Amino acid sequence: MADLSNVMCEFCKVGYHAPFERFEKIAVTPNGPAFLMRCNICGSLWYETLHSARQVEPSEALKMYPEIKL
Ligand SMILES: [Zn+2]
């Protein structure tokens, strides 16, 4: 697992799963489709595609979506 500086909440520690209400969509790649999601509890960033989801560092998220504000 990546060396993340922020502390994950109990849900994100387990992975990208319910309760999905905790996630806020902050960026979209229309032709993916792929989504950058942020957990409202701990602030973890998740990159979701049709087939998988993985946690990303803020620096990586900014490379993928330079227009976002974190
Ligand atoms: Zn979280």
- pLDDT digit string, tens, across residues 18-49: 999 999 999 999 999 999 999 999 999 999 99
CA distance 21 to 2: 24
Distance between Cα 1 and ligand 1 center (Å): 15
CA distance 51 to 4: 23
Distance between Cα 45 and ligand 1 center (Å): 8
Domain range spanning residue 41? Answer: 5-64
User: Is residue 21 domain-resident?
Assistant: yes
Place of tokens 């979701």: 48
User: Is residue 70 domain-resident?
Assistant: no
The pTM for the full model equals: 0.87
Q: Residue 3: its pLDDT value, please? A: 53
User: Is residue 33 domain-resident?
Assistant: yes
Distance between Cα 30 and ligand 1 center (Å): 24
Domain count along the chain:
1
> Two tokens at 35?
């989504």
